[in-house]
Structure 1
Amino acid sequence: MGTLNLLQNIYILYFIFPIACAFVCWVFISVLVYCFFSPQQPVNFAGFKLQGYLPAKQNLILQAVFEKAELLILQQKEEMKQHITSQQSVEKIMPELEKHIDEFLTVKLPKDIPMLSMFIGEKTIYQIKEVFMKELRVLFPHILSTYLDEMLKAGSVRKMLTDKLSPSSASGAIIAFRNKNNFSIIRLKLFACIFGLIVGCLISSVIFLFT
């Protein structure tokens, strides 16, 4: 009778142990994922300050990202300048500028200085506009180039990114990253369960063979 009870206990252990291992692995991965992303803000627990790994390191991560972004932008600076200040790019802007200059010469200027309309006709306005457009085609690439040199100098890009992206933006990015990778996290937990189940079966088999 005692032997029968022992065998029953062994069989029960053989089936329960793999399930227990799978559950432990699932809990371990779940806690690990939680600690990786949460809590977002520091929490005091038993005298210790607890915070998720990514939220705690978000400032360092942001600085590393900013440095890398600045390096890439500075490496492509000359290529960007050539593209933006090229004749093709300037010509794309000209129609909009011409429209504003035309409105200024035909509507705003006569309204602000009515006497001019008595001495300047449509032909003169057209000639003035042509002179303006010709000069803008020459000046605009130079102005853009000077502006880009000032904006894209070392340190300026990183400062601009730092000013625009606050820690709250980083927290939002962490949450968005987790939400986007929910399916991957579920697969990781499932893999942990399967791994625990296989390990549990192996251990149970060894116990069963040597008992």
Structure 2
Amino acid sequence: MELVYFLPPILGAFIGYITNVIAVELLFHPKKPVSIFGFKIQGLVPARSREIVERMMDSLSEILTQDDFEFMIDRAIVRAYIESDLAKRIDEIFDKYPLSFIRDIAERSGLVARMSLAISDSIAGVLKDAVAKNIAKNIDLREFVIKKAQEVSDEEIEKIFKKFAKKELRFIELSGAVLGFVIGCMQSLVIYPYLT
């Protein structure tokens, strides 16, 4: 007779967990619209994936600025230079001839050599900045991401979403079990006077 009081919490936990697992799956499935009793059903993410991407782009465009792109491009140019043959050749020259030797040559050749080095460094810096600004100005992140989103399949979107929100989705499933258990306990308290 006392087992009757444990039945509502156990059933409530089971039903709450199962319904939340189904609700989480309904976020992604069915991928294509299915007609059931005249109602069209489709997973929320596949049905609204383009709208989700659009909203994400609106949010990103508010956060990312042209200065951010200039920074990224500037760093990319510097990395490309470091990895280039020119950088390797300059390193070879410094390995072959000690820095003091190059400095001696610069001092012997006088002011003209130092000025030419300073001018070439400033020209390289200005060119690098101009290139970075010009490229950054012409980048359309929204267009790129929307194009990429159109190439991504619903399965890949599901994997990305589940990877990103794995803990939160698991929490939703388990919270169904907890809420079902609590409601079951309240039901047991309500029926207790009638069974005793």
Same fold (TM over 0.5): yes
**Structure 1, unaligned runs of 5 or more:** 1-7, 103-129
Q: Specify which structure has the bigger relative contact order, considering alpha-carbon pairs within 8 angstroms and separated by 6 or more residues.
A: 2
Q: 1:196 aligns with which of 180, 185, 188?
A: 180
Match of 2:49 in 1: 58
Structure 1 moving runs of 4+ over 6 Å: 99-102
- The aligned amino acid for 2:176 is A
User: 2:20·2:176 contact (CA, 8 Å) conserved in 1?
Assistant: yes
Partner of 2:191: 207
Distance 1:95 1:19 in 2: 63
The 1:171/1:16 distance shift into structure 2, 3 A limit, reads: same
- 2: CA distance, partners of 1:70 / 1:97: 36
Name the residue aligned to 2:150.
166
Residues 39, 50 of structure 1: 8 Å contact kept: yes
Change over 3 Å in CA distance of 1:43–1:179 after alignment to 2: farther
Change (3 A) 1:83 1:157: closer
Partner of 2:132: 144
Q: In the TM superposition, what are the counterparts of 1:94-133 in structure 2 within 5 Å?
A: 96=84, 98=86
Q: Equivalents in 2 of 1:198, 1:185: separation in Å?
A: 20
CA–CA distance in 1 between the matches of 2:177 and 2:15?
Answer: 8
Letter in 2 for 1:201: C
Instruction: Give the alignment's TM-score, normalised by structure 2.
Output: 0.63
2:64 corresponds, among 66, 70, 73, to 73
The 2-side partners of 1:83 and 1:190 are apart by 42
- TM superposition shift of 1:65: 0.9
Contact 1:29/1:189 (8 A) holds in 2: yes
| Paired residues of 1:26 and 1:189 also in contact (CA < 8 A) | yes
Length, aligned pairs only:
166
What letter corresponds to residue 193 of structure 1 in structure 2? A
Show the counterpart of 2:105.
none
Q: In structure 2, how many angstroms separate the alpha carbons of the residues matched to 1:82 and 1:184? A: 34
CA offset at residue 178 of structure 1?
A: 1.9
- Return the alpha-carbon distance in structure 1 between the equivalents of residues 174 and 83 of structure 2: 59
Q: Structure 1 residue 36 and structure 2 residue 21: aligned?
A: no
Give the partner amino acid of 1:50: I
Shift of 1:101: 10
Secondary structure of the corresponding residue to residue 40 of structure 2: strand
Identity of paired residues, percent?
20
Distance 2:175 2:71 in 1: 51
Q: Could you tell me the TM-score, scaled by structure 1's length?
A: 0.60
1:110 paired residue number: none
2:181 partner amino acid: L
Partners of 2:170 and 2:135 lie apart in 1 by 49
The answer to whether the Cα contact below 8 Å between 2:9 and 2:185 also exists between their aligned partners in 1 is yes
The separation in 2 between residues aligned to 1:180 and 1:173, in whole angstroms, is 10
Amino acid at match of 2:150: S
Unaligned runs of 5+ in 2: 91-115
